[in-house]
A and B are shown apart, each in its own frame.
Chain A
């Protein structure tokens, strides 16, 4: 098992890619701190992960033998973040891996001059500043041990533009910039920071995925039509599965990537190489 004896903190773990990562990590022997907002955000036009979904993720991971601590909180609030990290350190002694997965896809679906101040702010505060806050809280312990891996779940939207998604695209481009700068800050102290850029991930009911559906809704197109469009634009002619992304995150979390830092790995079926 590739993560035996390691503790990983995963944000946005109630469902979707966060859950996929949690399940994969648990199978590889990791103990987990699962973090999620677990409540509604007014600015976000779709339902976010719930505490029940977070507990469901935890229960699935425990079946694999993982020790799991769940925590609800907002990555926009530094105090909440600090408390969660402190509890995680008390419970598990240390955090070896941080997966910054929490993110929102909407409010989106319009030209950028139509985006409102609060819509812009929430997007950047969750997707970009949230990862910064969590990293800021977790990294000191890693630096003291001269060991740790931070995996930022960015997006192909961090590499190319998407029409009507200015805030999302800007936040994910920012997250890749943060990845590269943090990698340089910490490389001498053996703490690695990398990013994974998923393309269009299928909404797998097993992980309660709904990202693709919400993007379709933002664009006001039926989900199946949106999926169809993406599949056609995908060199591999198929959507990415949540577990594909978890596999990349697992590799970056494990010792197999011990000399890898500052890298940006696309898991997009070739979408960005068109």
Chain B
């Protein structure tokens, strides 16, 4: 039972993002947690270990010797039918990379909290979205939390989504390193009964069973490999309605609205920003100020990053005159940074579509300030006014 102010069936508490994720994992009654320490994620697994060692959570904590082994152990555990969780950041996710693809293809519904951190070199422990972007093609569903509340809510939803028979894919919940992982915020947590009702014990299929032996992870050559991948692709794409349904169900339960994208001011916006993660709040704060000055600006933030909410995004962006896509990462040699490329290709088929600018910002934990957000909006407004893209990619907040 969380200590805080009781509001209906929920409790208002103060927690960091890491603590909120750990609390959500505890309420989700997870069976196996295999993880390896890495800043800024470590506190998640520390808290879970405390829950287990104090008898508040009946789970196995496998304190493995690397992230590679963490995800390997998660796959083995998930195949037994257990509910499985791991957490990592940056280099840890990079070390898992090989196994991420296997987790998806073997349809193991593992949930991972990813406290986003910049990839080395130079080594840095603060927020970039390099890690999440680098695994976007691996067949994991990915959510981005905007605040601690969402980190908590999305973790609970992630288990339900991952384990749903219409989905059966692993899920990453992204939370911006330090900004959310260590930032303490007020949030509402559900009571255990509500979580149990929303997230009953996993009903696994095709689990490891000596009585019904099966072969998991066979060699598949050119005679079947494409059919395997096609089946996986169809399953991944078909999971979309199930994801939407579960987000809606949780919205009703919690009174907090969850959908693939969130919009602000988009009903009449001529210039907009597209953002991921904790920057959404800053962007909306500045947008509100600009709108008070009569500027028609808006903000679109993505809660769901994979599968990419292409149709929703195209619908809200196609009539906007200019959009600045904000990337907390850089893709060397690409036509733009990662989110920019997604947004551009999502809009390509639209008859009407906005002029696009890509802004690279906030790398390695560089503060995303209101001034930077305002600069981005000014670029969008100027592009909308002139009907011309001056610079396709800009860097904000760099010396």
A and B co-occur in one complex: no
Q: Which residues of A does B touch, CB under 8 Å?
A: none
**Chain B residues within 8 Å of A, Cβ to Cβ:** none
